[in-house]
Structures are given as structure tokens and as C-alpha cells.
Structure 1
């Protein structure tokens, strides 16, 4: 078996480590931060195996002015930043045609349909029974106009076998009586589940990896290089040889890809969340709010409101307007929310077609990529790990990853 390095200890890297270790490889994980504490920490906790619709949409064009000038918009673009990154913006917009959007949805659907079984393989040996809840998300529409505007995405979901029921105002009130009845209707997404703590779930999978003699090195990897057809990692002022290397460093992955000659149009999507105190069961299901594009999820330590999109890079400080947008809207939907416990911002890795990069490097044999999962890192982590095992073991797989191949860029 091979000596494998995995760069990145978020949920993607941890799941890759699990499956590769299970296959008999000697696996070492690298990250300058503790496992699960960065982008994987802050999501809404949904295993969104239903999700095949991304930000790429023909409907996006009409919303562009609001992204620049409306601070109440759930998608905000820093115009100074985007002017410096126009090539990426144009590539993204080219993927917003009806034809491209349908291809993206089909590709995601084909991949994500394997996610539930892939996670079940992990959960059969890692005890997460107190952490994962089999409960259907409810996605709410504020008005009939907004519901009709969203018919395009609902038709795409239906086309690619996403199961959901449309429920009316009275049915929603019975299911979640603490919600303010300011909604028109909603959809219930079938066969879904969520985690009450993304951090603890990641840590449990990681701890199992360590118990099975996996190795974790808390260090920043400075680069990858080839020497005499061998591949090495640079870290802690030393170099180490590995048979295989998996780059699963999220939004920072392209820095490593460039060290071996690859270059991907990887951009940063800043996402936000707020944690509210909660001393009673205000909600039982994750609640999505279509107008502002975020979810309110019951977590083990409170209620989390998470989502929104800001294109502004790594360096800009946290945008308090986004925090205010989330808090104000969450309180409007759920007036009994407690005090704000904490606020958070993280960096989602985003490519112009909203699809991840999964596969072997074009430039360097035995280097593999697993990044760019955008909003679906938690959802697609296990199936990504399972596919990575098949790629490294050179075993055939029934999971189609052709649309995710690094060579598309």
C-alpha cells in the first residue's frame, strides 16, 4: 500500500483520510489548524443530498445590480475586488445560461446521489448517533411572487429526482408553531438529515482515524515539488517523500496547485453565521428562507443562522452588514430567538461552474485534488473520500466524476 499525504483537515480531508486508511494506506494529514475548525466549522449542518442547484442561474442576471448596491442582498460583491478579478467573473457568468445551468445540476445530482451511502459507510464504524438527526429541512417562501420566481430551480430539482412536497401556510404552522407566519408556503425536502455540530462530527471521524494509527501533523505545507519523478512536501523547514498526495485545502488549494504548475480559477466566497442562545426547542427542523438564502438550524449549543454570499477575498474584515442582515431576518422569522452568542465568517472555495475539482493533477502524476465544493463541502465530503480511494487504488467506480475532472480548466 502507499504512503499518502492529505493536505487539509476539514471535513473533505478527514473523509478522504478515512477511506484511504480503510483501504490499507499509511495516511498522514497536514493542517496548520486543528481539524474541522475552519470552513467546515461554520456551515448550517445540512447533508444536502438534495442539492443540485447552484448560484449559477439564468435568473442571476436580473439580480446583479443589487449585488453591488443593495446591502440587504444575500449575495454581495465588493466592486473594487471584482474589478481585479474580472476573468473569474466572466467565466462565472458564462456558466449562467440555461444550458450550462442544467449541465451543472445534472453533474451535481449524479455525484451527490451517492453521498448518503458514502456517509453511511463512515457512520457504520464511527458513532455519531447523538450528533446526526434524521429530520427534513423546510424551505420557506415569503410570497407567491417569490415562489413563482423560484419555479426554475424547483423544476430542475424535480427533473433530477429531488423529492420534495409543497406545503401550505397552515401545514407549516402546525409543524413549526414558533415561526412568525410571514411566509406564503414552503417545500419539505425528503430523505434528508442534519448534524447538530459540524465540528464534533468532523472531530469524531478524525479521532477514529487517529485511533487506527493515522498521523496528524499540525503545520502549514509550503509547497509540493517533484524530484527524479518522486513527489515531496515542504513543511516545517523540511521535505518528505510521499507516494501520493491529496490536496484538500479548500479555498487555499490553488496555492499548492500552483507549486506544481497547475492553476485553477478558484475564488473565495465568504459565508457567515450567527449563533443564538436557546433555552427551549424553538424549531425542530432546519428552516430555509428563500428571500435571503440562508438556513436556521437547531444545534446542540443553540440555534445557528447561516448562509449568504460575499465576494470580497481573504483580506477584507468581517462585514457587519452581512451579520446584521442575518440577525434581523432570523429574528423576523423566529421572534423568540435568544441573545447572540457568537458570529463567524469563513471562506468557501468556489469555481466558475460551482462544481468541485476531483481527480489527478494534469502536471504532476500522483498528486490528486479534492476541493472547490462551494456550499456543499459537508454534503459531498464522504462521497469525495470514497471516490479518492477508487482513484488512488486504480479501482473502477460507478460514480461519474468526469464533469469534476481537473482537466476541464
Structure 2
């Protein structure tokens, strides 16, 4: 058995009972690892792949503080049919995957009941209110404040009908700490010069933001973690016990605290403890052009709401992302999803050509669209943080801070009870 001991040059004073093992190297795992490290823990991070491909690093880079209302809502149920992929929407329910998505969909409908939605809305809004301050602290501690861009984002509509409907929807929505205003005619005209499709209206959000580049974030996070004495192990964790993890290759690792942050794979790791985590792989797709793309680097993320597509300029290029596909994480990607993106890109005249790199990744999603954060009952050294759906990047630093406070027995800035897996029975 390998004992996770602190590195002497950086953690000589860390006692044996302040060793932590993080299972999963997505944005939740890495930020949690750093939060614990900065709190004085000797931390080992176990990553399944040498080059991470988690949804954390393939997303739109948007810090979505405006999404204070869980997706599992009465409004979602009412608009379900028009969002289906075969009707032009972004929601894909592949018939061959019905055994996977039907049980999840039934749970989602239950979570969207008015009473349950009200509780979930309050819990998510409280968590999101802490998201941007936590990001500021995180990039400052990383020594990379340039990674965080607090320039808001833009939403555009292409017809008068969709503009009126979309504006009314946002006016009725809880946007948390974010606020928005209508685009001026000058601003709207500027977007018309960049987009071929007609634009009938738009709004500009303030209080949201983006990461300058997810790849740079991943590299900076890992570099800081290792420089501060962290240990990174590449391998798949097959099982977790109280204070011990076993890898598929037979290696055994031990630590005083083990935190499961393995996304979709977390459910299987926690099942032996009697915990239910009815998680699904909510698969998203993107296409990305290279860094020489003709798109100003200072433009904020832009949502083409009629097309359920977000376009973000990163240091590494221009990315168009869309699709909510419920399926097994290991199912083959569906080329029809990338083809839909290509048609949207062509209709809008975006500078993303046929040489754009395709990507597909699985967002870990629970039926009520709340993350799972808490301790495993009956253990002294196992906890979890996963299931952040579309909000993994947004909520990563505050999740890390919550886990660090929980393991140190400190008061939590956000009540954790709504995020415990006990809510699933």
C-alpha cells in the first residue's frame, strides 16, 4: 500500500491525518485539490488519463452566474417538445439509448415539480452567489488573474418573435448576481457586421464572465499544484474505501481523506456505500477553429439563443458549443451533432471552417440539476463533489472551498444539506 505522505520541502509540517486523495482530475477535482493544498493538506490527485479530456476542458468557458434557476423546472417541462433535436432543438434523446435516458427523464420530471423546484432554486441561487468571488480568489491564488475575464456575455435573437419571447423570458427569470440590459442599436449593428443571419434583438449581461482559455487554466492549475508539493498519479480508480483507494492496475493508495470528484464515474465508486447517485452523461459537442481565426479577442461569449449555441473566443481559438445528448458516457459520438453545428456556423457566417477540431464530452448531471457535495455517512474519511452539469466550471472554486471547509470542520458559507446524496433516498 502506498501511503500518501506530504512532500518534505513543501509540507514538512503537515501531520499524517491531513493527507487527502482526490479521485478525478476535471475542473472540480483540480480546484478542490488546490483548495485543500492551500488549507494545509498534503494532496494527491488521481487522474484517469495523461491528457485529460473531461467536459471541464471542452466547455464554453462561460462563468454562468446568471443561471440561478435549475434546468429541472416547470418551464423546462412546458418547453420540452420544441427543444428536441429532431425538431431543430439541442436536446437529443437517441432511441438506442432509451434504457439510459428514460429512467433519468422520469426522475427529472419529478424534480421539476413546483415544490421540489422551489427548494432546488434556493439552494442553487445561494451557491451561484458565491461563484464569482470564489473565482477571483482562485485566480489570485494561482498567480494568474488574467485567466478570469469579467466582461459579461451577449444573447442574440434572429427574429422579432424570438426576441420578444426571449427578452420576456429573461425579464421573468432569476439571474442571480448577474444583470442585463438591451443592446443599443449601435451595439446590435456591430454584431450584424459580424454575423450573416439577420439579428432582431439582443441583451448584454454584466456580472457573468469567462475563462480566457480552458487549456491554459488546466495547465496553470496543474503546474501550481505540483509546484506547491502536490502529487499527481495517472490511473483509474476501481474502488474506494474508508481511507483507501484501489486502482485498476492493483495499486493501493491511502489517505486520511478521500474525495470523489470523478464526474459520471462517481456513482459507481459510491454505490458500495449504499448511496444512490442517479447520474447521467449529458453529452455536449463543440467545434473549434485555431488561434488565427478572424474574430476579435476582446469579444465576450455570445449565445445565439434561437440555435441553443454559444460561441466563445479563447486564446487558443474560436469555439462553438451546443447539444444536450442523454446517453451512456462511453457511447460513440453522433456525427449528426457536429453536422448540426456546422450548419449553424455556416448560416451565421462564423469563421469556423471545415478544419475545425470536433470534440464531445460528458457533463455529469443529476436529475434535479444540483451538484452532489457532502460526506459519505458511516465513514470518517470519504466525501464527494460531482454532478455539476452545465455549471462545473462556474462552481469549481466555490466547490473546492466548501470541501476544504467541510473537511476542516469549519462553518460552511453555503448550507450543504441540499446537495447531499441523501436527497435521492
TM-score of the two chains, using structure 2 as the length reference: 0.88
- Residue 234 of structure 1 is matched in structure 2 by 246
Name structure 1 gaps, 5 residues minimum.
Answer: none
Q: Does 1:395 align with 2:410?
A: yes
The worse-fitting range, judged by mean Cα deviation, of 254-263 and 365-374 is: 254-263
Aligned equivalents of 2:85, 2:136: Cα separation in 1:
44
- Residue 121 of structure 1 is matched in structure 2 by 137
Q: 1:298 to 1:130 in 2, by over 3 A?
A: same
For the Cα contact (< 8 Å) 1:233–1:239, is it kept in 2? yes
Which residue of 141, 155, 158 corresponds with 2:172?
A: 155
- Residue 376 of structure 1 is matched in structure 2 by 391
For the Cα contact (< 8 Å) 2:92–2:325, is it kept in 1? yes
- Residue 350 of structure 1 is matched in structure 2 by 365
Aligned equivalents of 1:69, 1:200: Cα separation in 2:
33
Aligned equivalents of 1:157, 1:389: Cα separation in 2:
29
Aligned equivalents of 2:221, 2:341: Cα separation in 1:
30
- Residue 26 of structure 1 is matched in structure 2 by 42
The worse-fitting range, judged by mean Cα deviation, of 145-154 and 37-46 is: 145-154
- Residue 198 of structure 1 is matched in structure 2 by 214
The worse-fitting range, judged by mean Cα deviation, of 391-400 and 161-170 is: 161-170
Q: Deviation digits for residues 183-217 of structure 1, max 9, x if unmatched?
A: 22122110232123212202211211110110011
- Residue 327 of structure 1 is matched in structure 2 by 342
Q: 1:166 to 1:400 in 2, by over 3 A?
A: farther
Q: Deviation digits for residues 69-118 of structure 1, max 9, x if unmatched?
A: 71632111113423455332111012224444443333222101111221
1:46 deviates by: 1.0
- Residue 10 of structure 2 is matched in structure 1 by none
- Residue 260 of structure 1 is matched in structure 2 by 273
- Residue 107 of structure 1 is matched in structure 2 by 123
Aligned equivalents of 1:69, 1:129: Cα separation in 2:
39
For the Cα contact (< 8 Å) 1:178–1:282, is it kept in 2? no
Aligned equivalents of 1:304, 1:116: Cα separation in 2:
22
- Residue 108 of structure 2 is matched in structure 1 by 92
Aligned equivalents of 2:136, 2:101: Cα separation in 1:
40
Count of paired positions:
404
Name structure 2 gaps, 5 residues minimum.
Answer: 1-14
Aligned equivalents of 1:335, 1:123: Cα separation in 2:
31
1:130 deviates by: 4.5
Q: 1:306 to 1:68 in 2, by over 3 A?
A: closer
Q: Deviation digits for residues 27-65 of structure 1, max 9, x if unmatched?
A: 111012136532211000111222213432323335444
The worse-fitting range, judged by mean Cα deviation, of 160-169 and 87-96 is: 160-169
1:368 deviates by: 0.8
Q: Does 1:281 align with 2:295?
A: yes
For the Cα contact (< 8 Å) 1:224–1:260, is it kept in 2? no
- Residue 66 of structure 2 is matched in structure 1 by 50
Matches within 5 A, 1:61-80: 61-65=77-81, 70=86, 72-80=88-96
Aligned equivalents of 2:212, 2:40: Cα separation in 1:
31
SS in 1 for 2:356: strand
Aligned equivalents of 1:265, 1:134: Cα separation in 2:
34
Matches within 5 A, 1:180-195: 180=196, 182-195=198-211
The worse-fitting range, judged by mean Cα deviation, of 245-254 and 48-57 is: 48-57
Q: 1:163 to 1:66 in 2, by over 3 A?
A: closer
1:237 deviates by: 0.9
Aligned equivalents of 1:385, 1:187: Cα separation in 2:
32
- Residue 211 of structure 1 is matched in structure 2 by 227
The Cα RMSD (Å) is: 2.3
For the Cα contact (< 8 Å) 2:21–2:254, is it kept in 1? no
Aligned equivalents of 1:142, 1:83: Cα separation in 2:
37
For the Cα contact (< 8 Å) 1:275–1:343, is it kept in 2? yes
The worse-fitting range, judged by mean Cα deviation, of 200-209 and 373-382 is: 200-209
SS in 2 for 1:384: helix
